[in-house]
Every structure is written in structure tokens, then in C-alpha cells.
Amino acid sequence: MFLGHILGVGKDDHSLWEKDEFQNPWVRLENGYTRSIFQMSDGKLLGVSECNNLQVKTDFTSAWEVVSDSGPVICAIQLQDGRILGVTDKHELQWRETLTSEWIPEANSGHVICVSQLLNRTILGVNRNHELCTKVTLGTPWFTIPNSGSVQSACVLRNGVILGVAEKNHQLYTRVELGMQWQQIPDSGDVIAVGWGEI
């Protein structure tokens, strides 16, 4: 199964990088700035600007376009139902129906630094202790996954494998299931956030 291209946010310059296989080197896609990266269902890329607003680009070579009055967020994804889910600068969740609609805060949803979504629609997060955590849906409590640290970003590939970025060495790690151990991908740094997409 083709899993798409691995997308990374560079540790030193926050630019966008990609690799088409785990073992291949990173290739810079552009010199823009983003804090997180996610490919939406329409193929557009969703990121977070230096000023903590949402930003989008139509493809991998176009410029980022900031969505006005869409912050403050530090990470954002599109859920499988089409809604935009963001992590605020206070590490709580908020969501909006579309890119330009109003944010709706999610009560008692802290404290996470990034989010993704498993294939079964369970929300996956990384908490402030750099551990994986899950919630069945919005409005339910977070459940911490034991022995799942220490990561600063995580995404879910199309085959369900979880891809994480280590907090300290900024290398990529995978785990096939939530309860399994992280497996390091050699020579896969230096990134601070990760996603995947089709180029």
C-alpha cells in the first residue's frame, strides 16, 4: 500500500520537507513557515502561521495564505467529518465547521500540544508530558496511553500506523498499534512536526 509522502516541519527553520519512503532523505519543498502540517480532504495543505493563525496552500509549491482571525492555534487538523480541530495556545481544543467559521471551544479538553485522528475516528493527542492520549470523541475525557512518550508530534498514516516525532532527538518513530512500542526510523531528523500527504 502506498502510504503517501511523509511531511515534516524543519526544526531550525519551520519550512516544509518531505520524504517518499521512511529510509530516504528529507527533501525541502519550500521556504515558508509553518508550525504544523496536515493535508485536507480536498488536497489543500493546512498549517499554522508564525502568528498562530490557520494558513492554507493549494499545493506543495504555492505560497501559504493566512486565514484571517483564525487564531490563536498551535496545531490544526481536519477531522474525518470535515470539521477543523485546533489546539489553542493554552493547549485546549476548539473546533470550527469550516476554515472561516467561528471557533467553538471544547470545555475541559486540555492539556495537549497536538492532535490527530485514528482511522476509527478516535482523537489522538500528545499531552504536555509528551505522551500519547486518546479521546473517543469531542466531549469525552482524555485517556493517557502508558509508556507512549516521549514525543512532541504525531500523525496517523493511511494504514493506521502512528508516526511520531521524538521530543529530544527530533527523529521519526512508528508504532503499529497504540499499545505497542515505538520503533525508531534511522537518520530521520530533524523535524518538530509531522504529517503525510499525496503530492
Residue 125: CA count within 13 A, CB half-sphere: 28
Report how far residue 183's alpha carbon sits from residue 157's, in angstroms, rounded to the nearest whole number.
15
Query: What's the pLDDT tens digit per position in 49-72?
Result: 999 999 999 988 899 999 999 999
Q: Determine whether domain 5-197 maps to CATH 3.40.50.720.
A: no
Given a contact cutoff of 8 angstroms between Cβ atoms, the answer to whether 47 and 64 are in contact is: yes
Q: Looking at residue 61, what is its pLDDT?
A: 86
Instruction: Write down the domain spans for the chain.
Output: 5-197
Query: Does position 175 have pLDDT exceeding 50, yes or no?
Result: yes
Q: Looking at residue 1, what is its pLDDT?
A: 45
Report how far residue 68's alpha carbon sits from residue 55's, in angstroms, rounded to the nearest whole number.
9
